[in-house]
Amino acid sequence: MAVSITGWGHNKFGTNPNISSEEMIKDVVEQAINHAEIETRDIDTIVVGTFNNGFQKQDFHAALPAISQEHLKHVPSSRVENACATGSAAIHTAMNAIEAKRAKIALVVGVEKMTERSTAEVGDILLGASYRKEEGDIKGGFAGVFAQIADGYFQKYGDKSEILAKIAAKNHKNGSVNPFAHMQIDLGFKFCNNISEKNPYVAKPLKRTDCSMVSDGAAALIIAEQETSLSMKRSINFRATKQVNDILPLSKRDKTEFKGAELAWREALADSKISLDDLSFVETHDCFTIAELIEYEAMGLTKKGEGFKAIEEGIVYKDGRLPINPSGGLKSKGHPIGATGVSQHVMSCMQLMNEAGEMQVENARLAGIFNMGGSAVANYVSILERIH
């Protein structure tokens, strides 16, 4: 059974000290329902994605949407978690309910409130998405995990610090015109490439500009069976979805290549009967710039060790052959863990509906999305296509 996205909501990511998860959920749920032009009573099931793991004391996020929407109080609602891919896991869970004919219309919410904790506390909480038995004492938290990945990649293929700086500069330029982005500033290559008081090493060789920000944020989707969606104002079809996992400990795999991501891309493209060249753009999971570099290779844009060519040849810029992260990605937009996967789908739908404003990629027809949990452990790819 085909499944389509028919509406969405998205708040501004950032440091929002006076806004709770409950309030963020209320905001994006109202947006999504209004955008899809449905009634709250039309929703058959709810899936909420949040990582939490100690970010805040309020848990049981599945119960929060109904507080502000009385008609949702008796609707089945579940919470899912799959590290940084929690948002995509929530989408897949909702799609499963529709494909099993247990629901016709589903509400998906991704949310995270991260900024109530100190930087050190956030770093430790995020290490819950690593293999603590071996990686729990790495300095720099999750940045330290990806610093080890970057160091291994540099040892294998040479120092690519300047390439990482170009990736950061590209994403900050794209994000400077994204009204939902945490940081709407075009930092430029020179700033991203140089060590400074404002851009120190977080975990060498990764600088602050190589790392996504600690953010609060929420996003929501209305997902419907395609037959139902055809009578609605918007219908964006999942042409393919794929989840492929990899083993958790970095010690048990080659950390310089994301094999699970590679398989997820390969299978999703095969299922959708297209090639990478057919995509109009990709929203990919740049939690760290080294991740985006390796993802170029995993998606098949370049050979292994040659991801730098995607930047050097201009392929991944907004006016290039395959724009990567026209939204600014996690690097600029922010990375509220549970919201990220949902946000990537919202940004892609905006592009496909020609509703992306200054972020708009010309003639966007097919979208690719990659969202990963942990260090490329849970790997999700979506291929989206506008129906009407």
Percent above pLDDT 90 for the chain: 96
Q: What band does 117 get if pLDDT is binned at 50, 70 and 90?
A: very high
Which single residue is written with the structure tokens 């920000």? 213
Rg (CA), the chain: 19
Task: With a cut of 60, say whether residue 1 has pLDDT above it.
Answer: no
pLDDT at residue 163, as a whole number? 98
Instruction: Identify whether the C-beta of residue 276 lies closer than 8 Å to the C-beta of residue 315.
Output: no
Which single residue is written with the structure tokens 């990945």? 149
Task: With a cut of 90, say whether residue 317 has pLDDT above it.
Answer: yes
CATH of domain 3-117+215-229: 3.40.47.10
Q: What band does 289 get if pLDDT is binned at 50, 70 and 90?
A: very high
Q: Which helix (H) or strand (E) holds 156?
A: helix 141-157
- Report DSSP letters for 28-67, one per residue: HHHHHHHHHT--GGG--EEEEE---TTS-S---GGGSHHH
DSSP 158: -
Give the pTM: 0.98
Q: What is the mean predicted confidence (pLDDT) over 59-84?
A: 97
Per-residue pLDDT tens over the stretch 341-379: 999 999 999 999 999 999 999 999 999 999 999 999 999
Q: Where are the beta strands (DSSP E) in 318-377?
A: 366-373
Instruction: Identify whether the C-beta of residue 161 lies closer than 8 Å to the C-beta of residue 193.
Output: yes
Q: What is the mean predicted confidence (pLDDT) over 111-129?
A: 94
- The crossing angle, in degrees rounded to 10, of helices 259-272 and 289-298 is 50
User: Who's near 160: CB < 8 A, 6+ residues apart?
Assistant: 153, 154, 293, 307, 308
pLDDT at residue 270, as a whole number? 98
Among left, alpha and beta (phi > 0; psi -120 to 50; other), residue 52 is: left
Which single residue is written with the structure tokens 């499944």? 3
Computed over every residue of the chain, the mean pLDDT equals: 97
User: Who's near 240: CB < 8 A, 6+ residues apart?
Assistant: 268, 269, 271, 272, 381, 382, 383
Task: With a cut of 60, say whether residue 339 has pLDDT above it.
Answer: yes
Q: What's the number of CA atoms in the CB half-sphere (13 Å) around residue 240?
A: 23
pLDDT at residue 299, as a whole number? 98
pLDDT at residue 140, as a whole number? 87
Task: Kindly tell me the burial class for residue 197, based on how many C-beta atoms sit within 10 Å of its own C-beta (0-12, 13-18, 19 or more).
Answer: exposed
Q: What is the mean predicted confidence (pLDDT) over 322-330?
A: 98
Q: What band does 176 get if pLDDT is binned at 50, 70 and 90?
A: very high
pLDDT at residue 383, as a whole number? 98
d(CA 86, CA 378): 9
d(CA 198, CA 152): 26
d(CA 335, CA 327): 13
User: Who's near 227: CB < 8 A, 6+ residues apart?
Assistant: none
Q: What is the mean predicted confidence (pLDDT) over 125-148?
A: 94
pLDDT at residue 16, as a whole number? 87
Q: Which helix (H) or strand (E) holds 169?
A: helix 161-175
